[in-house]
């Protein structure tokens, strides 16, 4: 469980947000809302359900969301599934966290690139699945995957050019957009994908983030292997 910096009584514990996640080693979608919460010290209970094990674990996931997938956020009588939907909910629920930029144009930009990550880059996802403890080595990427890599670095470089004076993340301060792009930072490392100089600052900023480091440590400590992800 993650309680941030607050001292919690039993009532707060009972009413605390619950975030249902899968294996930290593999689950890129789980990382996104987890990072949005943890990087902002928002207290929550972490509910871990291993993926691709048996029907009992599948049923546990279905008990939280009929979509049958992780992540799922439970906030009292509100249940939200899908990473981007959860981040949008958190932005409304905790406006002080400033998960979207205050400026209207920057906020629209942040939402656009987050949606692009959410629905795009299929080739890179398929060819470079998230697997933190995979030995670092390159793979031969398809033309589509290389185009994905170029586009992602273009996004990072463009954000730095526009907002870099405000801080090291995509829109200066850490935002929901950074949570959406965090798994790609892992993929670039794991598959030894070269990072251009104009995008290097962003990788450095993300890997220096305490919450990002915490997830990485936890994922590397996991021992449960999923065979379908170990052959890449």
Work out whether the CA dihedral 194, 200, 203, 208 comes out positive or negative.
positive
Across the chain, mean pLDDT equals: 93
pLDDT tens-digit series, residues 83-93: 999 999 999 99
Return the pLDDT at 112: 98
> Average pLDDT for residues 135-143, to the nearest whole number?
97
> Average pLDDT for residues 99-116, to the nearest whole number?
98
Could you tell me what percentage of the chain is helix, strand and coil, using 3-state DSSP and rounding each to the nearest 5?
A: 55, 10, 35
Task: Using pLDDT thresholds of 50, 70 and 90, give the confidence band for residue 7.
Answer: very low
Nearest to 190 by CA among 221, 228, 145, 232: 232
* pTM, two decimal places: 0.91
Nearest to 152 by CA among 125, 173, 181: 181
Contact 158, 112 (CB under 8 A): no
Work out whether the CA dihedral 118, 123, 124, 126 comes out positive or negative.
positive
Which three-class secondary structure string do you get for 66-117? Answer: CCCCCCEEEECCEEEECHHHHHHHHHHHCHHHCCCCCCHHHHHHHHHHHHHH
Return the pLDDT at 1: 47
Give percent above pLDDT 90 in the chain: 86
| Dihedral (Cα; 109, 114, 115, 117), 10-degree rounding | 130
Return the pLDDT at 15: 73
Return the pLDDT at 229: 79
pLDDT tens-digit series, residues 144-185: 999 999 999 999 999 999 999 999 999 999 999 999 999 999
Return the pLDDT at 54: 82
Return the pLDDT at 6: 42
83 Cβ contact list (under 8 Å, min separation 6): 29, 30, 32, 33, 71, 118, 179, 180
Burial (0-12, 13-18, 19+ Cβ within 10 Å), 54:
exposed
């Amino acid at each position: 469980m993650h309680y941030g910096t607050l001292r919690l009584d039993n009532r707060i514990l009972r009413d605390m947000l619950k975030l249902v996640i899968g294996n930290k080693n593999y689950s890129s979608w789980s990382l996104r809302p987890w990072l949005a919460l943890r990087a902002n010290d928002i207290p929550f209970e972490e509910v871990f359900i291993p993926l691709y094990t048996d029907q009992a674990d599948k049923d546990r996931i279905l008990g939280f969301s009929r979509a049958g997938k992780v992540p799922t956020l439970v906030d009292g009588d509100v249940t939200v599934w899908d990473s981007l939907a959860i981040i949008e909910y958190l932005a409304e629920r905790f406006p002080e966290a400033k998960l979207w930029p205050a400026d209207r144009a920057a906020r629209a930009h942040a939402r656009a690139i987050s949606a692009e990550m959410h629905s795009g880059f299929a080739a890179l996802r398929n060819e470079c699945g998230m697997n933190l403890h995979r030995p670092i080595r390159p793979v031969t990427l398809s033309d589509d995957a290389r185009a994905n890599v170029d586009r992602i670095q273009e996004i990072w470089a463009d954000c730095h050019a526009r907002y870099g004076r405000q801080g090291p993340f995509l829109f200066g301060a850490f935002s929901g957009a950074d949570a959406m792009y965090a798994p790609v930072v892992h993929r670039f490392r794991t598959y030894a994908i070269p990072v251009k100089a104009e995008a290097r600052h962003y990788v450095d900023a993300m890997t220096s983030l305490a919450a990002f480091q915490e997830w990485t440590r936890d994922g590397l400590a996991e021992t449960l292997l999923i065979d379908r992800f170990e052959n890449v």
